[in-house]
């Protein structure tokens, strides 16, 4: 059996710093669990533009297509604000998603008990929260045609088109149902069928797919009502499936229920490859945070938990993924905090590297 391959793209800003802590976790599995990976590294975003004049070199794109999983840090920064839209660092990430056909974006929102007081909601509302939003990632209003800014009469008009085919809805719905089957067998589909034809089609297709999953309790909700319910009582949900635009908004809303973007991982999954594994890109939800880059202040947990998602969804190592997640939970329960997680109790923050070391120590203790 061949060694699973992992392409690491640290990117910009704090990306290289948090990815260095992931490398510690990867090395730990090789040394302590006899679980090794064929790891390679390359450039994306601003770093790729600096080296190659493009946010994603064709060779890097080809490597991403060949490996079992891609792990990305973050892209972007004010240094690149003046670039043409086609050259901005974010275009490298979008190209990866589009050309790898990563149509299902998994965004968990989990609130660790030790951090429940960081949420803007009451602790009893968010403590123990563990939901998953499945966002369609390669179609919808972000990709539909026609799009652009055009002259119309004596003024300009901006146009974006919300467009979905039945097959695009079907495949992301099946991903969500499969995930629900492995969790609490409860799925809520969110759209705007009351005012959008694409929403009507979305609801019809999801309902039809649901007939293949009779064990899953399927419900439908308008996306604006879903946003309200997420802030009222988020624990009523388990898995949520929605389109690209609403998924972008709702997953960011759900992220802040947990108190810190620095804690949240994500996975973007595509169709199965010849080895049965889905094409996959894993990345933390947070951005490149150029204001703290190079200062050792970044929280590496979201990137480490993204690797845990890779263990679960790409490498069939669910028990080892849980080992990483429990190590993170144990470190937080001990009161170890990076600067973004500090309250008013006078706790001295640890550095990015020290947080990584603390998690490795908990992994050692798990053996």
Indicate which residues carry an active-site annotation.
142, 192, 224, 248, 252
Query: Is 103 marked within a binding site?
Result: no
Residues 6+ apart with CB under 8 A from 334: 358
Query: Is 224 marked within a binding site?
Result: yes
The DSSP secondary structure of 116-130, one letter per residue, reads GGGSSS-HHHHTT-E
Query: Is 211 marked within a binding site?
Result: no
Indicate the length of the chain as a whole number: 367
Residue pair 320/33 in contact (Cβ under 8 Å)? The answer is: yes
Query: Is 297 marked within a binding site?
Result: yes
Query: Is 291 marked within a binding site?
Result: yes
Residue pair 6/37 in contact (Cβ under 8 Å)? The answer is: yes
Query: Is 287 marked within a binding site?
Result: yes
Query: Is 184 marked within a binding site?
Result: no
| Beta partners for residue 147, in sequence order | none
Query: Is 308 marked within a binding site?
Result: no
Query: Is 298 marked within a binding site?
Result: yes
Residue pair 269/278 in contact (Cβ under 8 Å)? The answer is: yes
Query: Is 270 marked within a binding site?
Result: no
Give the distance from CA 364 to its chain's centroid: 27
Alpha carbon distances (Å) from 353 to 5, 272, 302, 340: 25, 35, 14, 15
Query: Is 88 marked within a binding site?
Result: yes
Helices (H), the chain: 15-32, 46-52, 58-66, 89-99, 123-126, 166-181, 197-210, 223-232, 244-257, 301-313, 318-333, 352-365
Query: Is 306 marked within a binding site?
Result: no
Query: Is 296 marked within a binding site?
Result: yes
Record the tokens describing residue 170, joined without a space. 């079907």
Numbered residues of the known binding site for Mg(2+): 224, 248, 252
Numbered residues of the known binding site for NAD(+): 77-90, 287-299
Numbered residues of the known binding site: 77-90, 97, 107, 135, 224, 248, 252, 287-299
Numbered residues of the known binding site for substrate: 97, 107, 135, 224
């Amino acid at each position: 059996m061949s060694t699973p391959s992992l392409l690491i793209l640290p990117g910009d800003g704090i990306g290289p710093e948090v990815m260095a802590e992931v490398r510690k976790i990867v090395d730990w599995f090789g040394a302590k669990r006899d679980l090794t990976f064929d790891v390679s590294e390359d450039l994306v975003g601003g770093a790729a533009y600096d080296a190659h004049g493009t946010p994603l070199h064709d060779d890097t794109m080809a490597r991403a297509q060949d490996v079992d999983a891609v792990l990305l840090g973050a892209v972007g920064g004010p240094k690149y604000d003046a670039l043409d839209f086609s050259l901005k660092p974010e275009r490298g990430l979008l190209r990866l998603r589009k050309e790898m056909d990563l149509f299902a974006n998994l965004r968990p929102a989990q609130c660790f008990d030790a951090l429940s007081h960081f949420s803007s909601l009451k602790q009893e509302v968010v403590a123990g929260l563990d939901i998953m939003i499945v966002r369609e990632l390669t179609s919808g209003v972000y990709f539909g045609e026609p799009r652009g800014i055009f002259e119309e009469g004596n003024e300009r008009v901006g146009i974006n088109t919300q467009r979905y085919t039945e097959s695009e809805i079907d495949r992301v719905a099946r991903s969500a149902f499969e995930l629900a089957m492995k969790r609490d067998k409860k799925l809520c589909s969110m759209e705007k069928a009351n005012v959008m034809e694409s929403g009507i089609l979305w609801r019809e297709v999801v309902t039809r797919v649901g007939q293949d999953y009779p064990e899953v309790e399927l419900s439908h909700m308008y996306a604006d009502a879903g946003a309200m319910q997420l802030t009222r009582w988020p624990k009523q949900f388990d898995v949520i499936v929605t389109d690209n635009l609403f998924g972008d908004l709702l997953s960011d809303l759900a992220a802040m229920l947990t108190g810190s973007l620095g804690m949240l991982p994500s996975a973007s999954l595509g169709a199965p490859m010849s080895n049965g594994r889905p094409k996959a890109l894993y990345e933390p939800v947070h951005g490149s945070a150029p204001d703290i880059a190079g200062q050792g202040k970044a929280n590496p947990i979201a990137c480490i938990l993204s690797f845990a998602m890779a263990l679960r969804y790409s490498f069939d190592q669910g028990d080892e993924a849980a080992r990483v997640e429990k190590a993170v939970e144990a470190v937080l329960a001990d009161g170890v905090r990076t600067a973004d997680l500090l309250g008013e109790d006078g706790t001295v923050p640890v550095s990015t590297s020290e947080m990584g070391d603390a998690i490795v120590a908990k992994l050692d203790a798990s053996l």
